[in-house]
C-alpha cells in the first residue's frame, strides 16, 4: 500500500489517497535493455503540472520535469535562468499528479557542475522535496565522476549528451551535433563514460542519426532519443511541442495535435458570447429557488 494523490477534476485539488499501486522503478526501466536490445521502447514526455501529469501518466514510462519549463512555462529565453526552487515546485506537482510513471527531475544549470558534493546537495533536495525517482544532468565525460558519486549514494541519474541546452552559450546555438568526425567520436565517448559511471539511461539529443545509433549500441543502459533515431531505446519530446502549443516546430518534433488552435478558438467564442451578453446563461447562473 502506498500513498499517491488523486486529482478531483471537479475542484482541481489533489487529495492524498491510500491506494495499491505499482509505480515503475528505475531498475525496471534499466532492465528494458537486455543484451543490447530493448524489445519495448521507453516512452517519455515532459510534464510540469499535476493535471498535465495526470493526463500523460497512463501512456508513459517516464515523466520528465524538464528545465525546458523555463521557456515553456515562464517565457525565459533559455533554460539557463531556471532555479532549483522552480524544479522542486514543479517536480512535486508532477509526482502528485502521477502514480504509474517514474518521475525524473532536471538539475538546473549551476546546481551540479561545481563538484560532486554540490550535485549531491542539489539532487538530494530534489528527491526529498518532490518524491521523484531520479534526476537528470547534462554533460558527458566531464560529469562521469559526478554521476558515479550520486549513483553510489542512492540517487539514480539520467545522463544527457549531444545537444545540451544548458551549454547553448558554448555551443553557439541549437544546431545538430556530431557532424564532424571529432564531435561524433566525442558523443560516443561521452555515452560510454556515463554508462560506465552508472547512469540508468542517457538522453541523446539533436545528434545526426548514425551517431545516435552508434552511441545506443555502445552502451548497456537505455538511450532516450530526441532528434536522434527511432533505433534509440526510447523517445522523449516536450509535450507542448508535440501537442502544437507553439507555432515553431523543431525538425525532430511531430505535431500530434493543435491544442493552441483549440484554446484560441474557445477563447474567441467565449469573448463573442461575453460581448453579446449571451454568457452566462441560465445554466451558468444561480436562480431563486421556487417556493415549495
181 among the known binding-site residues?
no
Grouping H, G, I as helix, E, B as strand and the rest as coil, residue 225 is strand
Is the residue at 235 inside a domain?
yes
pLDDT of residue 292: 75
Is the residue at 278 inside a domain?
no
pLDDT of residue 7: 64
Write the CB contacts of 207 (distance below 8 Å, at least 6 apart in sequence).
Answer: 161, 162, 163, 176, 177, 178, 187, 215, 227, 228
pLDDT of residue 169: 60
145 among the known binding-site residues?
no
274-289 residue pLDDT tens? 999 999 999 999 999 9
235-278 residue pLDDT tens? 999 999 999 999 988 889 999 999 999 999 999 999 999 999 99
The whole-model pTM stands at: 0.90
Kindly report whether the peptide bond that precedes residue 280 is cis, defined as omega within 30 degrees of 0: yes
Q: Assign 50 a pLDDT band (cuts: 50, 70, 90).
A: very high
121 among the known binding-site residues?
no
138 among the known binding-site residues?
yes
140-190 residue pLDDT tens? 999 999 999 999 999 999 999 998 877 666 665 667 777 999 999 999 999
Average pLDDT of the segment spanning 69-85 = 96
Rounded to a whole number, what is the distance in angstroms from the first to the last CA of the chain? 49
Average pLDDT of the segment spanning 124-145 = 97
Which residue stretches of the chain are H helix? 26-30, 50-56, 69-72, 84-96, 116-130, 144-151, 168-171, 181-197, 209-218, 239-242, 259-275
Q: Tell me whether residue 113 is one of the annotated catalytic residues.
A: no
Which cell numbers in the block locate residue 217? 549500441
Q: Assign 290 a pLDDT band (cuts: 50, 70, 90).
A: confident
Question: What whole-number percentage of the chain has pLDDT above 90?
Answer: 84
Is the residue at 58 inside a domain?
yes
Is the residue at 201 inside a domain?
yes
pLDDT of residue 22: 83
As a whole number of angstroms, the distance between CA 70 and CA 110 comes to 14
Grouping H, G, I as helix, E, B as strand and the rest as coil, residue 113 is coil
113, 145, 205, 247: the catalytic one is 205
Q: Which domain holds residue 16?
A: 2-242
In this structure, are residues 148 and 197 in contact, taking their beta carbons and an 8 Å threshold?
A: yes
pLDDT of residue 33: 98
pLDDT of residue 259: 97
68 among the known binding-site residues?
yes
CB atoms within 10 A of CB 279: 15
Is the residue at 268 inside a domain?
no
Which cell numbers in the block locate residue 61? 514510462
Which cell numbers in the block locate residue 259? 491544442
Is the residue at 252 inside a domain?
no
CATH number for 200: 3.20.20.60
State the Cα torsion 19-42-189-67 to the nearest 10°: -60
Is the residue at 86 inside a domain?
yes
4-41 residue pLDDT tens? 566 666 666 666 555 546 899 999 999 999 999 999 99
Q: Assign 3 a pLDDT band (cuts: 50, 70, 90).
A: very low
Is the residue at 285 inside a domain?
no
pLDDT, mean over the chain = 92
Number of domains in the chain: 1
Exposure class string for 123-146: b at 16+ Cβ within 10 A, else e? beebbebbbbbbbbbbbbbebbeb
Amino acid at each position: 500500500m502506498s500513498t499517491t494523490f488523486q486529482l478531483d477534476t471537479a475542484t482541481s485539488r489533489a487529495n492524498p489517497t491510500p491506494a495499491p499501486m505499482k509505480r515503475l522503478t528505475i531498475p525496471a526501466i534499466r532492465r528494458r535493455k537486455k543484451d543490447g536490445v530493448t524489445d519495448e521502447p521507453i516512452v517519455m514526455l515532459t510534464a510540469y503540472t499535476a493535471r498535465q501529469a495526470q493526463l500523460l501518466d497512463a501512456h508513459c514510462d517516464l515523466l520528465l520535469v524538464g528545465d525546458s519549463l523555463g521557456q515553456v512555462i515562464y517565457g525565459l529565453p533559455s533554460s539557463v535562468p531556471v532555479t532549483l526552487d522552480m524544479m522542486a515546485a514543479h517536480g512535486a506537482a508532477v509526482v502528485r499528479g502521477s502514480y504509474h510513471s517514474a518521475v525524473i527531475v532536471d538539475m538546473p544549470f549551476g546546481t551540479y557542475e561545481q563538484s560532486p558534493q554540490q550535485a549531491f546537495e542539489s539532487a538530494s533536495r530534489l528527491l526529498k522535496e518532490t518524491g521523484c525517482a531520479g534526476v537528470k544532468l547534462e554533460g558527458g565525460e566531464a560529469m562521469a565522476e559526478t554521476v558515479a558519486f550520486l549513483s553510489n549514494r542512492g540517487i539514480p541519474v539520467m545522463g544527457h549528451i549531444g545537444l545540451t541546452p544548458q551549454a547553448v552559450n558554448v555551443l553557439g546555438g541549437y544546431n545538430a551535433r556530431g557532424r564532424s568526425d571529432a564531435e561524433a567520436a566525442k558523443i560516443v565517448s561521452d555515452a560510454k563514460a556515463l554508462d560506465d559511471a552508472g547512469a540508468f539511461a542517457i538522453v541523446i539529443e539533436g545528434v545526426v542519426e548514425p551517431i545516435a545509433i552508434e552511441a545506443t549500441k555502445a552502451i548497456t543502459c537505455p538511450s532516450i532519443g530526441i532528434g536522434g533515431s527511432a533505433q534509440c531505446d526510447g523517445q522523449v519530446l516536450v509535450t507542448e511541442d508535440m501537442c502544437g502549443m507553439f507555432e515553431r516546430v523543431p525538425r525532430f518534433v511531430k505535431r500530434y495535435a493543435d491544442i493552441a488552435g483549440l484554446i484560441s478558438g474557445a477563447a474567441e467564442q467565449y469573448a463573442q458570447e461575453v460581448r453579446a451578453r449571451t454568457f452566462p446563461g441560465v445554466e451558468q447562473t444561480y436562480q431563486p429557488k421556487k417556493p415549495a
